[in-house]
Amino acid sequence: MTAQVLLLPGDGIGVEVVAQARKVLEALASDGVVMSLSEAPFGGAGYDAAGKPLPDETLAQARASDAILLGAVGGPQYEALPRELRPERGLLGIRAELDLFANLRPAILYPQLAASSSLRPEIVSGLDIMIVRELTGGIYFGQPRGIAERETASGTERYGYNTMVYGESEIRRIAKVAVEIASKRGGKLCSVDKANVLEVSELWREGVSAVAAERVQLSHMYVDNAAMQLVRDPKQFDTIVTGNLFGDILSDCAAMLTGSIGMLPSASLNEGGVGLYEPVHGSAPDIAGKGLANPLATILSAAMMLRYSLDEQEAADRIERAVQAVLEQGLRTPDIASGGKSISTQAMGDAVVAAL
Ligand code: IPM
Ligand code: MG
């Protein structure tokens, strides 16, 4: 059966970077990788086309697909919309609707880019961390949540509240994914929580420990310490597993260690192997449409897609080797050029196609 791949360019630079990944996928398709590509509006573009960030038609197409490649969502023109119509809601919606609970965010330092890191080369050279972030639970989705009013001594005031909640089954399934991944990598898993303060973290720690048992070398770390350790000595980590909010924060931090958030792909998987693949970076409205964006994170996301959802290992390898090759040739988009000579988004896409 032909694999169905849905492209969701979204907003801002999402449009440009997905166009480059599309060229790469089309080149592979003409070389015999069997897949069928379609495209749908999503995020702000979904709102413009159909009045909501995750249009019904887009969701139906997503459900019928084997894999989804997403650009990025969001832009200043959507910030005044009611919360449920904002582009970010589309992203949270598709994660929840497809039950994409396991978010894999690798932070790899390409040797050619060691100078772009904000840390000294000896601290980051050879860095290769995998962050496994729980993506459909925790405080992002916990009930109750809202904004309400309460009486105080000096009158009525509004208050906002959210709930961080994890059930044992949710902890178990993300721990299983993380243990599986860690055991295929360096065999070391660090679970990050805030068990010194939060009950939900106590249960998290218990659950992860039970799943990990003797299968990997497991350690636990409080999230504040983990943030510090990531910038102090990042190479102590191999695989990290953590909840939704902590993972959101730590993955941005880990991304920056590698010099450019423009280089990092991610995968969000459900239990059926369907995945949504997207660059870690956002829609960057300030540089959208100018050919300044780095398409490599999206192109590398397409490689992850071929590897994890389409079982096309050889095609995935070809993309990853081509990306190494263009870096080796000295080709850079502005974000990784350290102020030196750079090429456009489109030229970078073409260079990867040529290097396949
Ligand atoms: C991410 C983003 C999203 C998140 C936003 C855009 C909702 O920051 O994918 O890390 O917080 O999960
Ligand atoms: Mg984030």
- Distance separating alpha carbons of residues 3 and 275, to the nearest angstrom: 12
- Distance separating alpha carbons of residues 268 and 274, to the nearest angstrom: 8
Nearest CA to ligand 1 atom 4: 248
CATH number, residue 308: 3.40.718.10
Do the domain assignments include residue 194? no
Do the domain assignments include residue 126? no
Do the domain assignments include residue 158? no
CB burial string 67-102: b at 16+ within 10 A, e below: bbbbbbbbbeebeeeeeebbbebbbbbbbbebbbbb
Q: If you measure from the C-alpha of residue 329 to the centroid of ligand 2, how many angstroms do you get, rounded to a whole number? A: 31
Q: If you measure from the C-alpha of residue 10 to the centroid of ligand 1, how many angstroms do you get, rounded to a whole number? A: 14
Residue partners of 45: CB distance under 8 A and separation at least 6: 9, 10, 11, 15
Do the domain assignments include residue 77? yes
Do the domain assignments include residue 139? no
Do the domain assignments include residue 99? yes
The predicted pLDDT at position 114 comes to: 83
| Nearest ligand, CA 92 | 1
The catalytic site residues sit at 140, 194, 224, 248, 252
| Nearest ligand, CA 93 | 1
The predicted pLDDT at position 21 comes to: 98
Nearest CA to ligand 1 atom 8: 248
pTM of the model: 0.92
> Has residue 215 got a pLDDT over 80?
yes
The predicted pLDDT at position 117 comes to: 85
Do the domain assignments include residue 308? yes
Ligand 1 atom closest to Cα of residue 248? 10
- The tally of domains found in the chain comes to 1
Do the domain assignments include residue 36? yes
Which residues does a 6 A CB cutoff place in the pocket of ligand 1? 88, 91-92, 248
List strand residue ranges (DSSP E) for the chain, in order: 3-10, 35-39, 67-72, 102-108, 128-134, 146-152, 155-161, 188-193, 217-222, 239-242, 265-269, 275-279
Full residue range of the structural domain in which residue 105 is found: 1-109+258-356
Q: Which of 93, 122, 97, 90 is nearest to 109 (CA)?
A: 122
Q: If you measure from the C-alpha of residue 224 to the centroid of ligand 2, how many angstroms do you get, rounded to a whole number? A: 17
Q: Write the pLDDT tens digit of every residue in 83-94.
A: 999 999 999 999
